[in-house]
Amino acid sequence: MNTSAGRSVGADSPQPFVEAAEIPAGGRLFNARVAGPAAGRPVLFLHGFPQTSASWTAQLLGLARAGHRAIAFDQRGYSPGARPPQESAYGRDELVGDVLAVLDALGLDRVDLVGHDWGGALAWQVAGLAPERLRTLTVVSTPHPVALASAVRDEATGQREQSSYIRLFRTRGAAEEKLLADDAAYLRALFASLPAEAAERYLAVLREPGALTGALNWYRAIDPKALLDIGDIDAPTLYVWSDRDEAFGRAAAEATADSVTGPYRFEVLADVDHWVPENGAEALTGLLLEHLAAFPAR
Phi, psi of 268 (to 5 degrees): -110, 125
The candidate with the shortest Cα–Cα distance to 123, out of 56, 26, 207, 33, is 56
pLDDT in tens, the chain (298 residues): 775 433 334 434 446 899 999 999 999 999 999 999 999 999 999 999 999 999 999 999 999 999 999 999 999 999 999 999 999 999 999 999 999 999 999 999 999 999 999 999 999 999 999 999 999 999 999 999 999 999 999 999 999 999 999 999 999 999 999 999 999 999 999 999 999 999 999 999 999 999 999 999 999 998 989 999 998 999 999 999 999 999 999 999 999 999 999 999 999 999 999 999 999 999 999 999 999 999 998 7
Instruction: Decide: helix, strand or coil at residue 49.
Output: coil
pLDDT of res. 9: 40
Rounded to whole angstroms, the Cα distance separating 52 from 275 reads: 12
Contact 269, 241 (CB under 8 A): yes
Task: Give the chain's radius of gyration (CA, Å).
Answer: 18
Cα separations in angstroms, 46 against 78, 98, 209, 261, 285: 12, 11, 22, 23, 15
Q: Across the beta sheet with 134-140, what order do the strands follow?
A: 2-3, 19-25, 28-35, 69-73, 42-46, 111-116, 134-140, 237-242, 264-269
DSSP state, residue 233: B
Q: Tell me the per-residue pLDDT of 7-25, one tens digit each, with 9 for 90 and over.
A: 334 434 446 899 999 999 9
Rounded to whole angstroms, the Cα distance separating 214 from 206 reads: 9
Rounded to whole angstroms, the Cα distance separating 67 from 35 reads: 9
pLDDT of res. 298: 74
CATH of residue 59's domain is: 3.40.50.1820
Listed in order, strand segments (DSSP E) in the chain are 2-3, 19-25, 28-35, 42-46, 69-73, 111-116, 134-140, 237-242, 264-269
Q: Tell me the per-residue pLDDT of 83-134, one tens digit each, with 9 for 90 and over.
A: 999 999 999 999 999 999 999 999 999 999 999 999 999 999 999 999 999 9
Rounded to whole angstroms, the Cα distance separating 270 from 280 reads: 9
The C-alpha torsion from 223 through 23 and 59 to 203, rounded to 10°, is -70
pLDDT of res. 11: 38
Query: Structurally, how many domains does the chain consist of?
Result: 1
Exposure string (b/e) for 29-40, b if CB count within 10 Å is 16 or more? bbbbbbbbeeeb
- Length, in residues, of the chain: 298
DSSP-derived secondary structure for 158-222: SHHHHTTHHHHHTSTTHHHHHHHHHHHHHHHHHTTTS-HHHHHHHHHHHTSTTHHHHHHHHHHH-
Rounded to whole angstroms, the Cα distance separating 116 from 122 reads: 9
Rounded to whole angstroms, the Cα distance separating 91 from 11 reads: 35
pLDDT of res. 104: 99
pLDDT of res. 1: 75
The candidate with the shortest Cα–Cα distance to 201, out of 52, 46, 13, is 52
Give the range of the structural domain holding residue 138, as residue numbers without chain letter.
2-294
